[in-house]
């Protein structure tokens, strides 16, 4: 009985999230069938699927997906490391906090889209400018979460570690890192999706490859199905990265369940 109920619940958990997309797909097909909009504005799901198979076959899809994905991952790693390191320095050093925080908050409030063209001017239209855009967009939330995470370490646990004569390094590895971990992973989760945005914004400004570039290119050629295929691929990348961090979170924060 129990096994059967588990089975029903598991299939329910897999099925329910698919329900809404399935309904949307049906509505989409109905709208297209009614013929209200021309095909180049709303192509049919089938046309999009055929385009998907076509660009998958001739390698265009994977080449551009890889371009975006690699820039995103490199940018993510650089931005996360930079944010955590500077966040740690700010949390530990009052002077650095006073000097850097106003600047950091101002930069964070400025939309990336606004200064992305500058980054392309400075770093060229190759992958570098996209990596920098990704890294920058990831950097700020990571820095903030690191500062908040480190400030949330309970004073009583610091006292405990001091009474146990912990070295500064042990204070870091045995207390600060694990105590800040929920916030660090929360920041990483947000960052994973932001990094994709950073790459695409860079590609929109100027690029020679990538899904953002593919979207722009397809748009100029009125190839709406290809635009949709590229958007779909971006959604898959962002959702996968988000799920991977979620998995990491479940492993590392097992104690919270």
Residues within the interface to other proteins (CB under 8 A): 154, 156-157, 159-166, 170, 174-175, 178-179, 181, 253, 255-256
Q: What is the DSSP string of 174-192?
A: IIIHHHHHHHHHHHHHHHH
How far is 147 from 84, CA to CA, in rounded Å? 8
How far is 124 from 249, CA to CA, in rounded Å? 36
How far is 227 from 71, CA to CA, in rounded Å? 20
CB of residue 203 to other proteins, shortest distance in Å: 40
Write the CB contacts of 188 (distance below 8 Å, at least 6 apart in sequence): 80, 142, 245, 248
How far is 54 from 212, CA to CA, in rounded Å? 19
- Of the pair 175, 190, the CB lying nearest other proteins is at 175
- Of the pair 39, 159, the CB lying nearest other proteins is at 159
Q: Would you tell me how many other CB atoms lie within 10 Å of the CB of residue 226?
A: 23
- Of the pair 6, 159, the CB lying nearest other proteins is at 159
How far is 145 from 251, CA to CA, in rounded Å? 20
- Of the pair 148, 179, the CB lying nearest other proteins is at 179
- Of the pair 47, 175, the CB lying nearest other proteins is at 175
Q: Are 133 and 79 in contact (CB under 8 A)?
A: no
């Amino acid at each position: 009985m129990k096994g059967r109920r588990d089975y029903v619940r598991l299939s329910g958990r897999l099925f329910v999230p698919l329900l809404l997309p399935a309904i949307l797909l049906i509505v989409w097909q109905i709208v297209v069938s009614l013929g209200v909009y021309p095909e180049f504005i709303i192509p049919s799901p089938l046309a999009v699927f055929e385009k998907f198979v076509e660009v998958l076959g001739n390698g265009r899809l994977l080449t551009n997906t890889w371009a975006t994905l690699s820039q995103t991952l490199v940018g993510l790693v650089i931005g996360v490391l930079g944010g955590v390191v500077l966040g740690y320095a700010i949390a530990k050093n009052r002077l650095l906090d006073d000097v850097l925080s106003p600047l950091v908050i101002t930069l964070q409030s400025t939309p990336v889209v606004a200064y992305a063209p500058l980054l392309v001017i400075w770093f060229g239209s190759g992958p570098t400018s996209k990596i920098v855009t990704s890294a920058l967009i990831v950097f700020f939330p990571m820095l903030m979460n690191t500062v908040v995470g480190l400030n949330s370490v309970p004073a009583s646990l610091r006292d405990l570690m001091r009474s146990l004569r912990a070295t500064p390094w042990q204070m870091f590895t045995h207390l600060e890192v694990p105590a800040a971990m929920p916030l660090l992973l929360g920041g990483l989760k947000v960052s994973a999706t932001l990094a994709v945005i950073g790459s695409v914004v860079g590609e929109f400004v100027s690029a020679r490859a990538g899904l953002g570039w593919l979207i722009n290119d397809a748009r100029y050629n009125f190839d709406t199905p290809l635009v949709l295929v590229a958007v779909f691929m971006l959604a898959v990348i962002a959702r996968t990265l988000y799920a991977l961090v979620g998995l990491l979170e479940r492993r590392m924060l097992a104690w919270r369940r």
